[in-house]
Structure 1
Amino acid sequence: MENHAENQIVNKNENEISIIARIDARYKKMSKSHKAIASYITDHYEQAVFMTAAKLGETVGVSESTVVRFASGIGYDGYPEFQKALEDWVKSKISSVQKIGAKYGKSTQSEILTSVLRADMDKLQDTLENLDGASFEMAVDTILAAETVYILGMRSCEPLADFLHFYLNMIRGNVILLRSTSVSEIFEQMIRIGEKDAIVGISFPRYSMRTLKAMEFANDRNAKVIAITDSVHSPMNLYSACNLFARSDMVSIVDSLVAPLSVINALVVALCLKRPEDVKSNLEQLEEAWNNYQVYLNDEINFIDEESMLNYPLIKENK
């Protein structure tokens, strides 16, 4: 599975592969110093694009010659060609924002709303047509069978991880949401992960190197790895045995996460249907806790005409 996914990325025409995709595809086999360079470039490409090989090496803490060897190692004929490829990649990201401005610049607010919603509908339709039902079933069974489930999503994917963690915690115990600003902190939270456990890694372009490293670590510990990502070309597939694909394109400077959220929502519903009694019991216990410890304050209401939800002592005293 791992080698097949890697070959899908590496064996494409080199001219069609972005510099970041090359780095991601070769990351696992890199030396420690090359991994340090790769991590810095993917996380700080805005600064790296202006650096000489000597400056990049100084910043990362390696020699200039190591940086040059890194460039050759990912398929470039030296550092100048590598730097030009990085420059082109950064320009393409800036260009995509400019194209959005050209597309929507003269549109009314309602036209923008309609256009974006229709684009999201297209992403949902594409996800529906291409999602593998067998992988979805495997993900459900894996999550239910795991002793502990770890969930990780960085940057724009963090809300997706939060959503999955919130509802998965209603269904079963031992669910850990990984939060971190560094890879070392993630490893500290995952130190006990093993073959009886599972991790759900969520990442879309630009892919998170921290999420990728966490999935590699889990895979090395023989844990079950589930990836929620955008395509078969995603580097997240290198370490996962189960892949759930959802289309996610950049609409402007933000990523559209409608389709990924829908896939996660479907995952939660499927899990609930597998464990209806557990869900019912957990909700009853939660309701009891609310009743026992939030007698004088409810922070949720349904509709404004439901008197029972607005029946606070403070409101009564003011009447």
Structure 2
Amino acid sequence: MSIDTEWALRVSEATSDFTKSDRLILSFITSHPQDAAFLPLKGLTEKTGTSKPTVIEFYKKLGYSSFKEFLNGLRNFYEHHIDSYRASAAIFKKINGTGELISALVETEVRSITRIKDYISEDDLMFISKSILGSKRVFIFGPGTGYYPAHFLFQRLKRYRIDIHLIGDDIQHTAEYLFPVCTGDLVLIFNYLPEPDIIEKVMKYCKDEGASIVLITGSIYLSLAPYPDRVIYVKRGEIGFKNSMAVPMAFANLILLSVELTGGEKVSGYLKNLEEKRDEYKLLFS
């Protein structure tokens, strides 16, 4: 079990045993991880309207032996939620000048990207690439910062003659974006929102219409659990450093390469034909 995804796996396994109080605690944590990650035990009881024994029982259900261990697990999982102000303050306490900033940034991003191999399995990658290649159409949704990996895949998967559609996050037209979704389609969702309401609505619609769903997320929300066929945790950043989308973007590129590898000669043929068309019709900017 990777330390980065340990929290999510523990919560998933214990969900069926949660009481109403347990759900209150988890709801506060998922809505305010940047606060919960630094609260003392007494502070967490006050914020959730529960008691010290209730919080202790909650973290023991998750398999943690102490509150300190529980907080460490929470921080490791929710580190990408630490707010910008707090992250900036932490950075500039340790760094003097842009030279140190460049080194710290590179080291942090490299560590974060390297951890992909710890929490993304070969099975996860094969599931996504085979689903993309085997579905009638692919719909991709990435509200907020999730737009960057979503749009990247939307552009690049066209190279393989994938019938792909980008679901916009303009709430006035969400119904129009979703209306074509039906059985045989795949819906890929990148979720990096602090509140999951729109994600839940989109997934419920797609599930009701018979589509398969893959959720790529940095957070765990119990309300989303009934909908996706596969959940893949792809986190951002580290506590004490500002977040970027380097890891989700690297994962999007990994999906792209996996589709090429899985598609074999057929996909390679599409790429070759694309380059021939570029040359034939001079479809390049000079």
> Normalising TM by the smaller chain, what interval?
0.5 to 0.7
Residue number in structure 2 paired with 1:230? 218
How large is the RMSD of aligned CA atoms in angstroms?
3.4
Q: Shift of the alpha carbon at 1:96?
A: 5.3
TM-score normalized by the length of structure 2? 0.67
Q: Where do residues 93-172 of structure 1 align in structure 2 (5 Å cutoff)?
A: 97-104=85-92, 107-172=96-161
1:215-274 deviations in whole A, cap 9, x for unaligned?
Answer: 221111121001111255575544111122212147789632222222221111111112
Deviations 1:89-125 (A, max 9, x none): xxxx896513522431552112122222222222223
Q: Give the structure with higher Rg (CA).
A: 1
Structure 1 residue 22 displacement after superposition: 6.4
Whole-angstrom distance in 2 between the partners of 1:94 and 1:130 = 21
| Equivalent runs, 1:238-277 vs 2, <5 Å | 238-249=226-237, 255-277=243-265
When structure 1 is superposed on structure 2, of 105-114 and 150-159 the one drifting more is: 105-114
- Cα distance in 2, alignment partners of residues 94 and 243 from structure 1: 22
**1:205 Cα deviation from its structure 2 partner:** 4.2
Counterpart residue identity of residue 118, structure 1: E
Q: How does 1:170-249 map to 2 (within 5 A)?
A: 170-182=159-171, 184-233=172-221, 236-249=224-237
| Structure 1 spans left out of the alignment, 5+ residues | 24-74, 78-92, 301-319
Residues 6 and 151 (structure 1 numbering): CA distance in 2 closer, same or farther, change over 3 Å?
farther
Give the secondary-structure state (helix, strand or coil) at the position aligned to 1:17: helix
Once residues 156 and 254 of structure 1 are traced to their aligned partners in structure 2, the CA distance between those partners, rounded to angstroms, is: 14
Q: Distance in 1 between matches of 2:140 and 2:239?
A: 26
Whole-angstrom distance in 2 between the partners of 1:14 and 1:173: 41
Secondary structure in 2 aligned to 1:275? helix
C-alpha change, 1:101 and 1:290, in structure 2 (3 Å) is same
Q: Percent identity?
A: 17
Q: Which runs of 5+ in 2 are unaligned?
A: 1-10, 33-47, 51-80
Q: Return the alpha-carbon distance in structure 2 between the equivalents of residues 94 and 247 of structure 1.
A: 12
How many residues align structurally?
228
Q: Is the 8 A contact 2:142 2:169 kept in 1?
A: no
TM-score normalised according to structure 1 size? 0.61
* Larger RCO (CA within 8 A; separation ≥ 6): 2
Question: Deviation string for 1:259-294 (max 9, x for gaps)?
Answer: 222222111111111223333333344334333433
Give, in whole Å, the separation in 2 of the partners of 1:143 and 1:258: 23
Q: What SS does the aligned partner of 2:115 have?
A: helix
Q: Residues 108 and 237 of structure 2 are in contact (CA less than 8 Å); yes or no, is this contact kept in structure 1?
A: no
Q: Give the CA deviation at 1:7.
A: 6.7
Q: Secondary structure at the match of 1:255?
A: coil
